[in-house]
Chains A and B, each alone.
Chain A
Amino acid sequence: MSTPARRRLMRDFKRLQEDPPAGVSAAPTENNIMLWNAVIFGPHDTPFEDGTFKLTLEFTEEYPNKPPTVKFVSKMFHPNVYADGGICLDILQNRWSPTYDVAAILTSIQSLLDEPNPNSPANSLAAQLYQESRREYEKRVAAIVEQSWLNFQLQIDSLISS
């Protein structure tokens, strides 16, 4: 059944296809438009460069009045990302606006990667290293960037074999 939330998500999808933002990609899952898979490519000239980070976006029927739940599926090492992949980002919580769409959410998360907010740490080790030992921080990030390729390759392989 089509609801306002589902129709809005179809519009979001159309906009993503017609005017795709750089470095992000997303699509609803095959049988559930309320659940999306997305990929954010690590921005150039950042420690996250060339990473292919997979996320899920889970919407409710209250969308766009309520934000979706967005989580990294790929392992992430970032001051504002929790161990379970949850993201601490103001626009996904108290600063949400119903004018945001999937493209806006993903580009915001993409820019959060290189502009962490150390004041609201979700990963205290990442926040500490970011502020006190940038070299060690970048080493840890490089590790999850490499891991993101491995997982990406596994997903491609399983898609090809299925």
Chain B
Amino acid sequence: MSNDIDSTENDGENGIDSQKPEKMFTLKKWNAVAMWSWDVECDTCAICRVQVMDACLRCQGENKQDDCVVIWGECNHSFHNCCMSLWVKQNNRCPLCQQEWSVQRIGI
């Protein structure tokens, strides 16, 4: 980027550009920082208290990290599929909002 503005080229009929003061600095380099987060309401599995994107406590112990996936309910609450499958066997409700549990999607 250059501050060397050719005033003659942009010189309009009213001559505003010719009155522009000289630029005081030049932008030579800039660094952008981006933040991101998973697009889910809750990013920690409330059952085992490990991040849903990491393997659950059970799979970590059994070295099955790759098979541990996330499950989302219609209520938009997410858990590890393993944690949830054990819970729904005894009570088919979302442990967080107590609504009837119905699966929205499973996967990573």
Contact = CB atoms under 8 A, between A and B. Distances in A.
A3 B49 CA distance: 15
A20 interface: no
A64 interface: yes
A99 B61 contact: no
A8 B86 contact: no
Contact of A64 (B47, B96, B98): B47
A2 interface: yes
B95 A4 contact: no
B61 A97 contact: no
A98 B61 contact: no
A7 interface: yes
A44 interface: no
B46 interface: yes
A81 to B, nearest CB: 25
B57 A99 contact: no
Given A65-B87, A98-B87, A4 B48 contact: yes
A98 B83 CA distance: 9
A11 interface: yes
Classify the secondary structure of A's interface with B. loop
B58 interface: yes
B48 A99 contact: no
A85 to B, nearest CB: 26
Nearest to B82: A4
Contacts of B61: 2-4, 7
A15 B87 CA distance: 22
Contacts of B96: 97, 99
Contact of A8 (B49, B87, B98): B49
Output the residue of A97, A98, A101 with the most chain B CB within 10 A: A98
Interface of A: 2-4, 7-8, 11, 15, 64-65, 97-99, 101
Nearest 10 interchain pairs by C-beta: A99-B46, A4-B58, A97-B95, A7-B57, A98-B47, A99-B95, A4-B57, A11-B49, A98-B95, A98-B87
9 contacts: A2-B61, A3-B61, A4-B48, A4-B58, A7-B57, A7-B61, A11-B49, A15-B49, A97-B95
Given A7-B60, A98-B87, 18 more contacts: A2-B61, A4-B56, A7-B48, A7-B61, A8-B48, A11-B49, A64-B47, A65-B87, A97-B95, A97-B96, A98-B46, A98-B47, A98-B83, A99-B46, A99-B47, A99-B95, A99-B96, A101-B49
